[in-house]
Chain A
Amino acid sequence: MLIKSAAASSYDPAEKGRSSAAPLRERGVKVELGRRYRFAASHRLHTPRLSEEENRRVFGKCNNPFGHGHNYVLEIRLSGDIDESTGMIANLSDLDAFVEREVIEAMDCKSLNEDVAAFNDTVPTTENLCVEIYKRLKKFPGARLERVRIQETSNNSFEYAGE
């Protein structure tokens, strides 16, 4: 998969489709790129569909009306052909800029309940956060998003790879 910027460069465009990963793929071996990002955000687990008492019972400490925060670690995995010209599945600066715009700017040092529209009516559990971030990053044009994994604490992590 060619990055857009390289397609406009001076090397032979006939090589566009060639991938140095092809022989490996023919042998059933897949290459993926993994990248981790960090952001801090607050959330409160609460749903108006349950009574106050039920919310407290279901969500426990996480139902505290003032919310609480986590240092989230987001791990994403991407696949695609290794571009012969750049040696990359995805250009890291393009990827970083995309994730910065779609996730970090939108969520870092924010209240997920209040500041992220998707969580106005949906409980911002980390399961739901995985799905939301997957939807946002699936649009990355440079490679195929395989899965999203979010570590909420060193003991909790959640993973989503699409439907």
Chain B
Amino acid sequence: MVLITRKIEFAASHLYHNPRLSPEENRRIFGKCNNPHGHGHNYTLEVTVAGEPDPVTGMVLDLKELKEVLEREVMQRMDHRFLNHQVPELKGQIPTCENVARVIWNLLDPQIKQGRLHRVRLYESADLFADCYRNGANVD
């Protein structure tokens, strides 16, 4: 099995707020991230697909197709958007790194036609990221 990883970057804003909690609790739990006007990040997304290289093309999957999937499913949905208000898949969820990674996994998984989606790693900053991967997968 060979793993192939493609990286993209997008910029988006978000805020952490749970309407079921009081304003004080929101401030206590979410701190600065509860600022009602939101704040933004440059997200880096690494998408890893696992598979066997095709004997004819030598490819696990056609990278051009993966690029198009990422453009359609992630960039067009999330780049330069306010995640809380403009991404329907995140409606009713706090757009933490964990939840955004999970939503991206769910968007990409059915779109990978060659090979199998292995891992989604979403960096919110250089020091914070979330991983989604299949249980038992060999992750670096």
Chain A residues packing against B (C-beta within 8 Å): 3, 5-6, 9-12, 20-21, 24, 28-37, 77, 82, 85-89, 91-93
- Docked-complex contact B101 and A86, CB < 8 angstroms: no
Within 55-87 of B, Cβ neighbours of A (below 8 Å) are at none
- What are 7 A-B pairs at a CB distance below 8 A? A9-B25, A9-B29, A11-B21, A29-B132, A32-B131, A86-B16, A87-B98
- Docked-complex contact A32 and B130, CB < 8 angstroms: yes
Which residue of A12, A28, A33 contacts B98 across the interface (Cβ within 8 Å)? A33
Say yes or no: is B94 at the interface (Cβ < 8 Å to chain A): yes
Which residue of B16, B102, B130 contacts A24 across the interface (Cβ within 8 Å)? B102
Which residue of B29, B106, B126, B135 contacts A30 across the interface (Cβ within 8 Å)? B135
- Our count of residue pairs bridging A and B at CB distance below 8 angstroms stands at 93
Minimum CB–CB distance for B136 against chain A, Å: 7
Q: How large is the interface on B (under 10, 10 to 19, 20 to 34, 35 or more residues)?
A: 20 to 34
Besides A33-B129, A92-B128, 11 new A-B residue pairs in contact (Cβ under 8 A), listed by A number: A12-B20, A20-B93, A21-B102, A29-B132, A30-B133, A32-B130, A33-B128, A86-B16, A86-B30, A87-B96, A87-B98
Which residue of A20, A28, A77 contacts B131 across the interface (Cβ within 8 Å)? A77
Residues in A neighbouring B37, C-beta threshold 8 A: none
- Docked-complex contact A28 and B134, CB < 8 angstroms: yes
- Docked-complex contact B16 and A87, CB < 8 angstroms: yes
Which residue of B25, B93, B99, B131 contacts A10 across the interface (Cβ within 8 Å)? B25
- Docked-complex contact A31 and B126, CB < 8 angstroms: no
Residues in A neighbouring B136, C-beta threshold 8 A: 28
Q: Which A residue sits closest to B130, measured CB to CB?
A: A33
Bound CA span A33–B124, Å: 11
Bound CA span A30–B101, Å: 11
Which residue of B20, B93, B105 contacts A11 across the interface (Cβ within 8 Å)? B20
